[in-house]
């Protein structure tokens, strides 16, 4: 070990490696200390560490200090529990009661899956929620239940609609997961060129960003991550990403009765409720077709894609979710690697909350 991971000094140059279980336990202790029940803390901690394990560090435990600040300053209610407030056929509407978005979202998708098992499909809109992390976390609840699952959320405005200059739409992510032999298909993406969390992570690490990710406060493309955070994200594929982001806001925000567009409160107004909306759709494969036949057909489809000829400059063709699945296998075998600054921020939170840090942490030089 070349540097002390428990020291704030040199944190920008180190990474630390923590076994997955130990990181879940640590994150869970922090959330419990912030007032969550053991059950809610455990599932929120698992959701964040799942993102880290899948290599989506922008939506992993790096987010924990913000969630903890919101819990501390009253923007999120640690003891609130989501509840179904309206039900009609295969549709339910959940009042998130301003609980942690990670808790509301899991509850919402669980309701959608239950409806899908009973009726073939389930559609659940959640209002009065908060930032829910990585959308794949909820879509991936579908395949083990024999369901295709779709998860989406609105986010505070971070992009201008195509051709405009006023931030009116979030980069509203959407994830779709389908059962498949071996490992599920899962595509999970923000509707900006990249998720804002990736820019935040680059800013935390003091690293530059590619010039097409964002514009600065003056509307100019920038490679400075901090300047990008003061400006706007660019929509994925221009008018197409812009259009889809508006559609996700209609589905997540308008349908659920939550805030939408420029009225969504950003996470960093720690004392204010966000009123985020989500939509979860579950489709029970067995209600549509023979599940074994579906498995054979999706295996054929994905294998055909994976074994198709690579274009010049590419080693091979991947299916969405392949990279994250391989990352997860690596994390399970070797532990989860966190950037030194991310870990240092968790240690500061642990000191503030009187929580014990993990003991089985190893550190390595960064870069
Ligand atoms: N909760 C929120 O408010 C919020 C907002 C925005 C984004 N997010 C989350 O941020 C995360 C990152 O989003 P992103 O848009 O930066 O994702 P990304 O660009 O890293 O990946 C998008 C998708 O492309 C696939 N992919 C990547 N490389 C591939 C390749 N070579 N071949 C085939 N498929 C490939 C990935 O498997 C993934 O499904 C997501 O989990 C998203 O849900 C959350």
pLDDT digits (tens, 9 = 90+) for 169-205: 999 999 999 999 999 999 999 999 998 888 988 998 8
Distance 323 CA to ligand 1 centre (A): 11
Which of 140, 80, 138, 81 is CA-nearest to residue 105? 138
3-state SS class at 34: coil
- Cβ(45)–Cβ(28) under 8 Å? yes
Ligand 1 pocket check for 56: Cβ under 6 Å: yes
Both structure tokens of 201: 């992570």
Mutate to test the pocket of ligand 1, among 59, 138, 253 (most ligand atoms within 8 A of CB): 59
Pick the atom of ligand 1 nearest to 276's CA: 3
Q: Which residues pair with 126 in a beta bridge?
A: 94, 278
Nearest C-alpha to atom 2 of ligand 1 is from which residue?
A: 133
Which of 109, 110, 80, 112 is CA-nearest to residue 96? 80
Distance CA 263, CA 234 (A): 20
Ligand 1 pocket check for 197: Cβ under 6 Å: yes
- Cβ(100)–Cβ(108) under 8 Å? no
Rg, Å, the chain Cα set: 20
Residue 363 has pLDDT above 70, yes or no: yes
Pick the atom of ligand 1 nearest to 101's CA: 1
Query: pLDDT by residue (tens digit) across 103-153?
Result: 999 999 999 999 999 999 999 999 999 999 999 999 999 999 999 999 999
Pick the atom of ligand 1 nearest to 194's CA: 16
Residue 327 has pLDDT above 80, yes or no: yes
Ligand 1 pocket check for 55: Cβ under 6 Å: no
Nearest C-alpha to atom 44 of ligand 1 is from which residue?
A: 134
Ligand 1 pocket check for 189: Cβ under 6 Å: yes
Distance CA 227, CA 232 (A): 9
Which of 87, 81, 4 is CA-nearest to residue 43? 81
Both structure tokens of 42: 């455990």
Distance CA 249, CA 167 (A): 14
Query: pLDDT by residue (tens digit) across 245-264?
Result: 999 999 999 999 999 999 99
Residue 330 has pLDDT above 70, yes or no: yes
Which of 75, 73, 87, 83 is CA-nearest to residue 103? 83
**How many C-alpha atoms does 33 have within 13 Å on its Cβ side?**
20
Nearest C-alpha to atom 25 of ligand 1 is from which residue?
A: 320
């Amino acid at each position: 070990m070349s540097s002390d991971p428990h020291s704030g000094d040199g944190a920008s140059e180190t990474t630390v490696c923590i076994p997955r279980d130990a990181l879940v336990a640590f994150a869970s202790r922090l959330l419990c200390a912030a007032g969550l029940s053991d059950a809610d803390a455990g599932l929120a901690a698992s959701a964040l560490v799942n993102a880290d394990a899948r290599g989506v560090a922008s939506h992993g435990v790096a987010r924990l200090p913000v969630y903890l600040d919101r819990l501390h300053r009253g923007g999120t209610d640690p003891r609130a529990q989501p509840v179904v407030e309206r039900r009609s056929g295969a549709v339910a509407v959940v009042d998130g009661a301003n609980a942690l978005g990670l808790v509301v979202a899991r509850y919402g998708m669980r309701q959608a899956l239950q409806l899908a098992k009973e009726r073939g499909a389930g559609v659940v809109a959640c209002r009065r929620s908060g930032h829910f992390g990585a959308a794949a976390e909820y879509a991936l609840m579908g395949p083990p239940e024999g369901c295709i699952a779709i998860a989406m959320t609105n986010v505070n405005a971070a992009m201008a609609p195509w051709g405009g200059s006023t931030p009116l739409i979030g980069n509203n992510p959407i994830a779709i997961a389908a059962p498949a032999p071996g490992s599920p298909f899962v595509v999970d993406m923000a509707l900006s060129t990249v998720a804002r969390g990736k820019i935040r992570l680059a800013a935390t690490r003091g690293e530059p960003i590619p010039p097409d990710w964002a514009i600065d406060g003056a509307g100019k493309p920038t490679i400075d991550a901090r300047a990008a955070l003061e400006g706007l994200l660019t929509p994925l594929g221009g008018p197409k990403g812009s259009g889809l982001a508006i559609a996700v806001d209609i589905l997540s925000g308008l349908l659920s009765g939550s805030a939408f567009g420029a009225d969504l409160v950003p996470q960093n107004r720690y004392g204010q409720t966000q009123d985020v909306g989500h939509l979860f759709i579950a489709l029970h494969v067995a209600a549509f077709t023979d599940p074994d036949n579906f498995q054979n057909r999706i295996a054929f489809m994905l294998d055909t894609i994976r074994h198709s000829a690579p274009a010049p400059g590419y080693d091979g063709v991947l299916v969405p979710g392949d990279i994250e699945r391989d990352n997860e296998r690596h994390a399970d075998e070797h532990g989860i690697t966190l950037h030194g600054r991310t870990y240092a921020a968790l240690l500061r939170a642990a000191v503030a909350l009187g929580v014990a840090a993990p003991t089985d942490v190893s550190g390595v030089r960064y870069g």
